[in-house]
């Protein structure tokens, strides 16, 4: 299915962007999956137009309802991968290959889009494992596509148990000697491959001197690995941006005043761009991203 604009995230930033693109007659898809931080907010008292405050959950649901009423296609699906479209990846004659810059893969469907707007907030899926921060950039990675090449014919591990972890594992299968999926106490995924092992015991610590050399499980078992790829929970905006080659500063995406990243057709807005974590800021940036998408 093809769209002019695909927006990842159903919170204030993503929905605000959709209101502008839909009204400009651009075919728009909004994809969301996890609970928004707004949904978890009991009451907002500092947002314009609500003298007695408003529940974050109600504001969130009203936003999605508004986008649907205007004509946006809103779907609850987990996005597991976004790829830059290479012409030979689209075989169907119904698609004009040059028109669609991105391929968006979810747990249910594949979509094609001219513009992608990242607006999933600022997710922090870093597991609480001793040594994880110490070895970031020294064997601990958050992007299999970015760093998998450095682990050719080596032993690696993927921390996670969901669709995102499986996607990262698939990116490593043909590079690494073998891959171990570490669920860290979660249920084992229904996944099988010749060079993939699954370990459900909890992780105690990542060990090594100047770089990752292995890890120790909670029961004292030691596992030798050369690299660890973190893919806990679901992928967030920064995860997708980094894999597409967009500039990021730790946990935020670098954008210009038009909410554009350095990747053609890729925009970002809301909490994922850093700064003030407020609904007002998210709505503003969503509006700018929507207008920029229309011009693109």
> Is residue 68 left, alpha or beta, with left meaning phi > 0 and alpha meaning psi from -120 to 50?
alpha
What pLDDT does 88 receive? 44
Q: What is the pLDDT of residue 235?
A: 78
Q: Which CATH superfamily is domain 140-230 in?
A: FAD/NAD(P)-binding domain (3.50.50.60)
Phi, psi at residue 79, to the nearest 5°?
-80, 125
CA nearest 3: which of 75, 81, 76? 75
Which pLDDT band holds residue 26 (cuts at 50, 70, 90)?
Answer: very high
Cα dihedral 290, 81, 274, 65 sign: positive
Nearest alpha carbon to residue 85 among 96, 72, 74: 96
Catalogue the E-assigned strands of 2-119.
2-8, 28-32, 73-76, 79-84, 102-106, 110-118
Question: Fold match between 2-123+235-295 and 140-230?
Answer: yes
For residue 62, how many other CB atoms are within 10 A of its CB?
13
Cα 115 from Cα 136, distance rounded (Å): 31
d(CA 201, CA 110): 33
pLDDT reported for residue 207 = 93
What's the average model confidence in pLDDT over 175-200? 90
Fold of 2-123+235-295: FAD/NAD(P)-binding domain (3.50.50)
Task: Tell me the average pLDDT of the chain.
Answer: 89
In the prediction, which pLDDT does 233 show? 78
**Tokens found for residue 130:** 């001793």
What is the C-alpha R_g of the chain? 20
pLDDT band at 263; cut points 50, 70, 90: very high
pLDDT of 3 strictly over 80: yes
CA distances from 41 to 1, 45, 58, 260 (A): 34, 11, 10, 29
| In the predicted structure, residue 42 carries a pLDDT above the cut 70 | yes
Q: What is the DSSP letter of 234?
A: S
| pLDDT tens per residue across span 79-93 | 999 999 876 444 444
User: Which residue has 């899926």 as its token pair?
Assistant: 125
Using DSSP's 3-state secondary structure scheme, residue 70 falls into: helix
- What is the average pLDDT across 37-41? 75
> Residue 93: what pLDDT?
43
Does the pLDDT of residue 156 top 70, yes or no?
yes
The percent of residues in the chain predicted with pLDDT above 90, rounded, is 60
Query: Residue ranges of the domains in the chain?
Result: 2-123+235-295, 140-230
pLDDT value for 89: 46
pLDDT digits (tens, 9 = 90+) for 83-138: 998 764 444 444 455 578 999 999 899 999 999 999 998 766 678 899 988 998 89
Query: Exposed/middle/buried for 278, CB within 10 Å: 0-12, 13-18, 19+?
Result: middle
């Amino acid at each position: 299915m093809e769209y002019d604009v695909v927006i990842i995230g159903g919170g204030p930033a993503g929905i605000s962007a959709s209101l502008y693109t839909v009204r400009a007659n651009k075919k728009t898809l909004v994809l969301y999956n996890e609970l928004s931080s707004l949904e978890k907010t009991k009451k907002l008292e500092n947002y314009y137009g609500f003298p007695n405050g408003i529940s974050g959950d109600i504001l969130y649901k009203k936003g999605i309802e508004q986008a649907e009423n205007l004509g946006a296609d809103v779907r609850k699906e987990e996005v597991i991968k976004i790829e830059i479209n290479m012409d030979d990846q689209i075989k169907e004659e119904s698609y004009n290959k040059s028109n669609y810059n991105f391929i968006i893969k979810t747990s249910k469907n594949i979509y094609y889009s001219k513009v992608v707007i990242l607006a999933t907030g600022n997710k922090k899926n870093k597991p609480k494992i001793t040594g994880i921060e110490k070895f970031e950039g020294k064997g601990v990675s958050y992007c299999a596509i970015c760093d998998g090449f450095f682990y050719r014919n080596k032993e690696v591990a993927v921390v996670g148990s969901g669709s995102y972890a499986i996607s990262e594992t698939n990116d490593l299968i043909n590079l690494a000697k073998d891959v171990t999926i570490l669920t860290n106490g979660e249920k084992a995924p229904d996944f099988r491959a010749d060079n993939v092992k699954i370990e459900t015991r909890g992780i105690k610590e990542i060990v090594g001197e100047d770089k990752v050399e292995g890890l120790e499980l909670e029961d004292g078992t030691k596992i030798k690995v050369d690299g660890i790829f973190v893919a806990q929970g679901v992928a967030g905006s920064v995860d997708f941006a980094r894999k597409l080659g967009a500039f990021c500063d730790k946990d935020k995406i670098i954008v210009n005043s038009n909410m554009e990243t350095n990747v053609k057709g890729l925009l970002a807005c809301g909490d994922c761009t850093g700064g003030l974590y407020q609904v007002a800021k998210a709505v503003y940036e969503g509006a700018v991203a929507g207008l920029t998408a229309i011009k693109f």
